[in-house]
Each structure stands twice: as C-alpha cells, then as structure tokens.
Amino acid sequence: MIALPVVERKVKDSLRVAEEYLKVADIVEFRLDYLEEVSLEDIGKFCKFNSIITIRPTWEGGYWDKGERVELFKKAIEENAKFIDVELREEKNKELVEFRNRIGSKTKVIISYHNFEETPSFEKLCEVVENSLKVGDIAKIATMVKDKEDVLKILNLANKYRGRIIAIGMGEKGRLTRILAPYFGSILTFASYKGKSSAPGQIEIEELKEIWRKLRITI
C-alpha cells in the first residue's frame, strides 16, 4: 500500500485533501498534530476515510503539545478507524489496545518507533519490533539512514517481520527503503504529493509508482 500524509492546518482542508489523495493512494494518514484544533466530532469524520489516525507528540518528532490524546484515540477506536498509530514510548498504549479489545472494535493498532539520529543495530531493531508486537498489531520503525548498511538493516527487518511491520528509512539516503521495503514485507510506504510530506525522504507518489512499474515490482 501507498499512504499519503494529510498535513493540513484545518479540519475542512484535511477532509478535502483526503478525498483528493485517495484517488491516487491506497490510504491516507491524518496527522492530527498538524491541526490548529480538533474535536471528538472531527475524529468521526476522519474515520469515514480509509485512514491512519496519528497524533504525533513533540517528544516523538511531531507537533502535538495540547495535552492528553487518549480520548481522541478512543473515539477513533469507537469509530472503527482502519488504523491508529501510537508510540512505543506512550505509557497508555496498552490501555488503548485493551479498550479496543473490550469494545470489539476493528481498529488495528500500529505501535511506532522513530529515531531521527541514526539506525540502531539490527539486533536493537528486532528488540524494538518484538516489544511493539507484544502491545499492538503492527510495528512501525522509522530511523535515519546514513549509509548502505542502514538500508540493508531496514530491508532485512521488513523481510523478517513480513506483513507485521512498516519499515522506513528516513532522509535522502533512506529513499531506497521507501521503494523496496514493501517488496520485502513492509505493509505500506509513505509518499509525498505535490511537495507535501510529513518526513524527510518521502518520494512523490507518481514517481514511486513509475519506479515500481519500471522495475516490474508488484506490491
């Protein structure tokens, strides 16, 4: 799957952009931390789309500094959002999974880890994935790539945890992982659209599709 991040400042613009994005992408990620304001009612609107609900806090590289996020996530779970993305370092991630299980929601929980400085050792990455999968349904790993060895770590990780992971190498040197990780087993990759992106190294969606066509890669 290809995901496009929605990084608008207003709810109405986010909804409009999501409709446009889903004409070319498989799924959208609503980055609610970019929004100036968001309500429980808005969450219901977002969940009508095939989407990932993400509220990335400042301590994990996002922009959310408005306090508690749990009620917003619980509303997304009640509305059967396709996915929610919650950080491995979030102390209440297990609470959200237990809430999902208790009410019988269909929402899948992504447990995410971001490292904007480096790509740790393969052993460390495996440890992070294992810890994430003990909590949620899917592990997401996004790390800064500095060399070819880092690229290999991420692709090997995608291959080892095929179908249970989103594996991403950030930065210009990580662009190859955004092309090849889905082939090796990552359930999706994030692309950009007309210059709008949410992380360094995201490739324009039409460029990504063209590369896959030329390489005859079927995702």
Active site residues per annotation: 114, 140
What whole-number distance in Å separates Cα of residue 31 and Cα of residue 29? 6
Per the CB < 8 A criterion, the answer to whether 8 and 37 are in contact is: no
Q: How far apart are CA 213 and CA 134, in angstroms?
A: 36
Beta bridge partners of 113: 141
Q: What angle do CA 9, 166, 99 make, to 5 degrees?
A: 75
Residues near 182 by beta carbon (within 8 Å), at least 6 away in sequence? 1, 158, 188, 189, 219
Reference 197, options 1, 25, 4; nearest CA is 4
What dihedral angle (degrees, nearest 10) is formed by the CA atoms of 32, 84, 190, 150? 110
Secondary structure (DSSP) of 125-157: HHHHHHHHHHHSSEEEEEEE--SHHHHHHHHHH
